[in-house]
Structures are given as C-alpha cells and as structure tokens.
Structure 1
Amino acid sequence: MLSREERNPLSDWWWTVDKPLLGSILALMLCGVILSLAASPPVATRIGLDPFHFFNRHVLFLLPSFIVLIGVSFLSPRQIRRSALLVFAIAIVLIVLTLAIGPEVKGSRRWITLVGVNIQASEAAKPAFVVVVAWLFSESARRPDMPATTMALALLLMLVSLLVMEPDFGQTMLILMVWGSLFFIAGMRMIWVAGLASAAAAGLFGAYLLVPHVAGRIKRFMNPASGDTFQVDTAMEAFSNGGWFGLGPGEGIAKRSLPDSHTDFVFAVAAEEFGIILCLALVTLFAFIVIRTLSRAYATEDAFSRFAASGLAILFGIQAAINISVNLQLIPAKGMTLPFVSYGGSSIVSLAYGVGMMLALTRQRPRIEIEATGAAGALRSYA
C-alpha cells in the first residue's frame, strides 16, 4: 500500500488522481470488452474472418490504450501543453498525407497505413486540438494584447478545412461544437458565439446542397420512405426486442444483420441483449465522467487546466451523445464511435490520450505547483 509520506512519482500520482473518475473510465473499458464479445462475432463471420477477430483486436488495442491513459495522467499541465502541440502537429501532417495518398473508401479518404497499421489521424487531432485551443484561450484571458483568439480561430479553420476535404462532416460538427463551447467558457461575447453557430448552420446547409451523401442522410432522417434506413430501423427494433432486461447474452437478433453492430450500433446490441437497464447504466457512466471532470475543472484556479479539462470533457460527452442519438434515431445517421465501447483502434487510443489528459488536469496539485507550471512558463517554453 502506498503511503502519503512516500515522495515518489507513483505515490504522488495515487494520492492526487481522482479515483472515482479513474474507476468510472476503467468500468467503461470493461463494458466495452463485454459488448465487443457480444456484438462482433457475427460481423466477423459474415466477412469470412475468425469469429473473435474483432474482439481479439479490441482487447489488443486496450493494452496500449491503458498504458497511454495512465502514462499521460502523470504529466504536469506544462507537459500536457507540449505533448498536445506535438501530437496536433503530427496529426495534421498525417491528415494531409491521408488526403494525398490514402485509399478512397466509400467516397472518403480518412485512413492511412503506416508500418502495417491503419491510422485515422483525425481521431488523434481532436483531443490535442482541444488542449492547444484551451491554452490559447487561457492566454487570451490573461493577456488581451496577445492575438490568441485569432490564432485559435485560424487553427479551427485549418482543421475543419482538412476534415471537410476528407470529407468527414460528423467530426467537423463535433470540432465546431467543442470549439464553440470553449469559446463561450472563456468568456467571449455571445454575439461571437451566435456568429459561430450561424456559420456552422450555413456550412451544414451548404453540405446538404453540395454533398449527395449528406443530403441523402438528412432526407432519410426527415422522410424514412425516401431511402434505405435498414440500419437505424434494425437498431430501433433491437431496443424494442430487448425491453428492460434484454434477451440475454448472445441471444440478440439485430447483430446478425447489422453491418456496423460492433462500431456505430453497439449501443443497440447492448439494449437488445442486456436491456435498457444496462443502457441507462452506460449513460450514467458517461454523464458521471463528464460532470465529475467539469466539477473538478471549475475547482482549479489555473485557467488553462480549467479550459482544457472542460473542453476534453465536452468532447467526450458530445461524441457519446452523438452515437447514442443515432442509435435512438434522434439525429441523422453518422459514423461516430461510442467512447471505449465501439471497436476501433485509432478511436480507443486517442480517447485514452484525451482521458489521460483529463485525469492529469484534474489531479489535486498544490498552489505552488500550479503557479510554477502556469501560462508564463508555457510561453517561455514555446518562445
């Protein structure tokens, strides 16, 4: 057992990390393992793979993800800023390479293969982007003469432009919502927030007019008779079949025909086999992680830690909300993973990086440490 009197990195981490938050994240990972075992075998069998192909890979991805999560949670705020800037720069380069040489799948270029590993660079860009923008907003609040807000807007336009070129409008909307939330939290005037919302709405309308598959999804959502709604209809049937307590592990019907039962529609599989009770438990876990992080963030006096932790929590929560809403047919279908539950290597590792930063930023640090790693130190390190 680690003693409070011991002065080493492991002891300091153990007595300062938010244990309820860490426990909730690990519980979510465990739920992901169970649901991957329930949802993925029929998909693997349909495409001629070993029944446990996706499950084995899901567990394999969790191992480096856990290492990343714990390792990043040891970092100081200054180290988090530096790592986020480096990860964001690498992710941008990889996105550009993906657009240039990545394979086209269903009209999109989102993946690139490096050293035999498929990488979706936009996943890694999200948490790093949030932290970099949080740093800029904290500097803008501390030094109004610094054009930090302009720089944050420039980074937003750059990332959004690259995502639109893939195209990936779901990630684009997610990034815009998180950036707008941070913009509001940083104390910017409502007129600017309203302007951003209007620009996002105009962009969505432009995508509806100019991009056929976006228009198709919106039309099918508004009028199901206008096209193929097999996946969302099957997902809704799964909720109805499962009821409150589910059909039982392995007894689900929807996963036998849903092409994306292990990714986009794993929540529906959970509802059918384990019931609405489990779904409510999952929603409670997501809500607890977000609310706990926000409450801890607003208890800190360091503006950067407050903005960054809040932005990461909002990113995590909105992504989960989008996936669940698609499963419940509340919004048009969009390929968005359910954090730590859906299958996907890039998604799980990137989420672990983001959640690791959440844990690091919400650790209980003495005031002297916060001041020593404050914004002035960060400016000197980037100078």
Structure 2
Amino acid sequence: MTDMGRGRDVRALRQRVETLQGRSARSPIGAWFREVDRVLLLIAMVLIAIGLVAVAAASPASAVRYSGGDVTVPPMMYFWRQAGWIALSFPVMIVVSMLPVTLARRLCLLGAGVLVLALMVTPFVGVEANGARRWINLGVGQFQPSEFLKPMFIVTTAWLLSLRAKDPQLPMLWVTGALTAVIAGCLMLQPDFGQTVIFCGVWAALLIISGIPVRTMAMLGAAGIGMVAAAYTFYGTARVRIDGFLFPDPESAATDSYQVDMAHAVLTAGGVIGTGPGGGRVKFKLPEAHTDYIFAVVGEEFGLIACAIIAIIFLAIVVRVFVRLLDEEDAFKLLAAAGLAVQFGAQALINMAVNVGIAPSKGMTLPFISYGGSSMIALSIGMGLLLAFTRRNPYLSRSPYGPQRWSGAK
C-alpha cells in the first residue's frame, strides 16, 4: 500500500474516532462503560460479594466475643453494618473510576498532603485500641488515615517518578524516599508495622518498574534489611511480634502466636469442603474473626477450596492489570496502575500468610473481604483509581499501522 493510501486510511480512522468521541461526549456513562475494564470491574464486584458472605459467617462469633455478654446484640450485627458500608463505598468506586486522569491525579496529590498531616497527629490524638493509636474519632465514627493514604501515596509517588521520563536528572528517588520515610516513621509511632511494610514495599516496586539501576536497588535492599534489624533491636513492638512468631508460647492467649495458631486451627477445621454456612464452631475462639482473621473463618465454613478460589481471584486482579498495561505508553498511568495493583495484591498476600501461619500477626485486613468502614471506602477509592487509570477507548487504542497517540487521553 502506498503512503498516500495509508494517509487516507489514517484520516478516515481519525474522522470515525472524532464521530465516536462526539457521541461519547453526549453520553458520559456510555463512554465510561465502553472504556472501563469491565472484566476488572466484574472481578472486584465478585470479591465484594464474597466478602459480604464471609462477614455473615464471621459476624456471630465476633458479636458474641465483643458484646460483653449483652444478649440483645444481634448475631448478624457486623453483616448489616458491612452491607451499609458496601452500599456507600460501591458508588464511590464507580464515581472515582469516571474521573479524568488529570483530575484524579490532582485530587490524589491534594489528598496525600492532607492525609500525611492527619497521619502525623494520629499517634497523639488517635483512639487507642489493642495498644495502638491508628484511628481518629470524628464523632460520628472513626477514621483511619493510613488506609486512605495508601492509594493517594501510590498516585503521588507514581507522578513524581514519571517526571524522570522528561528529565532523568531529577532527584525523584530521594524525594519519594523521603516521603516514604516520613510516612513510615509516623506509622511506627502508632505502631503499625504491617502498613509500614506495605508502603515501603510499594515504593520499592514502583522504583523497580520505573527502571532504576540494579545497583541502586541492591543498596536499597541492603538498607531495608538493616532497618528491619534496627527495628528488632530498638523497637519493642517489632521485637515482641518477631519473637512471638519465632519462639511462640502456645499457653499464652495474650500473644500474637496464640492468634496465629488459632487462625490456623480455624482455617483447617473445615477440611477441604468446609462445615457449611453457619456450621463453624472453632471460630468462636478466634479473636478478630470478622477483620484480620476472616480468611480462617472462610476456611472453616466453606473449606480450603474456597480459600484457594479467593487467592486465585486476588491473583487474577493483579495479572489482569499488568496484562492491561503491557502496551501502555503513559509513564504516569503505567506506574500508578501497577502500584495500586501491587498494593492490593501485597495486602491480600500478607493477610493470607498470617492466617495460614507463615507470617507474624500484622493487624491487616483482607481487601474487600474483611469487615471495616475505613478499609472498605479506602479500597473502593483505590479500585476506582485503578479502573480510571486502565480505561481505554476501544476505538483509539491501536490502528493498523502501530500505536496512535491521543492528545486528549491525559
């Protein structure tokens, strides 16, 4: 085909695109539905539905444990509360997924600044629970800044690292490292070692994806090992958690090893197919059955097969996002979407590792499965951002002659 023929084809394609863009402008919801990754959205909805069933299974055990002997407390209290949080958070996810990329980025930058300030004051004004100050009492409810900061931090870090594509001399490694260090320091004051691991891990993953030298990455890895050793030496909470995991005391119900061991017992009590909905009995001995250890409750009542299916669903979300990003040309969208997927998968992996007894207790929820208002809304914001950054206009994605840049996709 001659160059003139190719030029006519490209002009015809652009004209068709402009026509379709005009139709999309008249129907924002229709445009969103064409562009959004419907497979990813469906997987998220399935996970939320599974989570509601899991909370229903765990609710009676938690209601009995935390009611203080009050027989008037309904056994399905946490289920109904979780249903309310889902009714609030799911529209939030859809609205966030409709945001233009530029607006979503600006809102995340603003949100990150506000939430870092909130994180700084949390150790001093926060509500204490189980020996930690991670929540701020707003009167009508409690608010956990670190949960909402995670997606904002990822988007902010992705934007800063994407600036290196324009100017490789910018010191974004040190800028993002300083931001991560400030956040990690605030989290350790609460204390919240699990969230610290998530923030540092996501930062490291974004550095790798952005293409920093292997030598620099090795130096950062060595520094990370040194920080863990320093935390064990000088940070009492970390030392207690690590010692409790490596040298468990099965006779003490006050230690993390007791919780991890009990979670393992609950997880395996149902065998391969489980005891059936409502048939679990060991779960009544499990602390935090509706939050940190809900994966174990799923294992008792629905079996190890159900646990494997949940793990596969989390893996499917991460794989789906990375496959979607294989031909992404925008450095910011690539980093932001990849970082959000890594955070989602890493949090799920840590929670499941604790439940099966191969990691010490972290006090971390299982995304979209565990009970919690702050967690559910924050995860919905994160998933909404992930859907926004992976949106593609199917008529603009590729032409017969290679990638076509669209100046409007910012």
User: Normalization by structure 1: what TM-score?
Assistant: 0.92
Matches within 5 A, 1:278-357: 278-357=306-385
Structure 2 partner of 1:244: 272
C-alpha displacement of 1:52: 2.1
AA partner of residue 325 (structure 2): A
8 Å CA contact 1:178–1:311 kept in 2: the answer is: yes
8 Å CA contact 1:39–1:255 kept in 2: the answer is: yes
Change (3 A) 1:100 1:234: closer
Structure 1 partner of 2:62: 43
Structure 2 partner of 1:67: 91
Change (3 A) 1:69 1:369: farther
2:293 equivalent to 1:265: yes
Q: Once the two structures are aligned, what percentage of the paired residues are identical?
A: 39
User: Normalization by structure 2: what TM-score?
Assistant: 0.86
Q: Distance in 2 between matches of 1:319 and 1:56?
A: 25
Q: Distance in 2 between matches of 1:220 and 1:202?
A: 21
Q: Distance in 1 between matches of 2:280 and 2:267?
A: 11
Q: Distance in 2 between matches of 1:142 and 1:295?
A: 25
Give the one of 24, 30, 37 matched to 2:49: 30
More deviation, 310-319/325-334: 325-334
AA partner of residue 348 (structure 2): A
Matches within 5 A, 1:1-383: 7-48=26-67, 49-225=73-249, 228=255, 229-365=257-393, 366=396, 371-372=407-408, 374=410
C-alpha displacement of 1:211: 2.6
1:94-125 CA-to-partner distances (Å, cap 9, x unmatched) read 21232231233333221101142200001111
Q: Distance in 2 between matches of 1:305 and 1:370?
A: 14
Number of residues paired by the alignment?
Answer: 371
Long gaps (5+) in structure 1: 375-383
Helix, strand or coil for the counterpart of 1:110? strand
8 Å CA contact 1:235–1:254 kept in 2: the answer is: no
C-alpha displacement of 1:346: 0.8
More deviation, 145-154/308-317: 145-154
8 Å CA contact 2:154–2:340 kept in 1: the answer is: yes
C-alpha displacement of 1:333: 1.3
C-alpha displacement of 1:77: 1.5
Q: Distance in 1 between matches of 2:234 and 2:348?
A: 28
Helix, strand or coil for the counterpart of 2:133? coil
Runs of 4+ deviating beyond 6 Å:
none
Helix, strand or coil for the counterpart of 1:249? coil
Helix, strand or coil for the counterpart of 1:264? coil
AA partner of residue 274 (structure 2): G
1:4-42 CA-to-partner distances (Å, cap 9, x unmatched) read 755411000001111111000000000010000000222
8 Å CA contact 2:61–2:283 kept in 1: the answer is: yes
AA partner of residue 244 (structure 2): R
C-alpha displacement of 1:220: 2.3
8 Å CA contact 1:98–1:111 kept in 2: the answer is: yes
1:291-337 CA-to-partner distances (Å, cap 9, x unmatched) read 10111123211111011000000000000000000001111111110
C-alpha displacement of 1:369: 7.7
> For the aligned residues, what is the CA RMSD?
1.8
AA partner of residue 137 (structure 1): L
Q: Distance in 2 between matches of 1:348 and 1:203?
A: 31
Q: Distance in 2 between matches of 1:221 and 1:147?
A: 39
C-alpha displacement of 1:373: 5.1
Helix, strand or coil for the counterpart of 1:104? strand
Structure 1 partner of 2:5: none
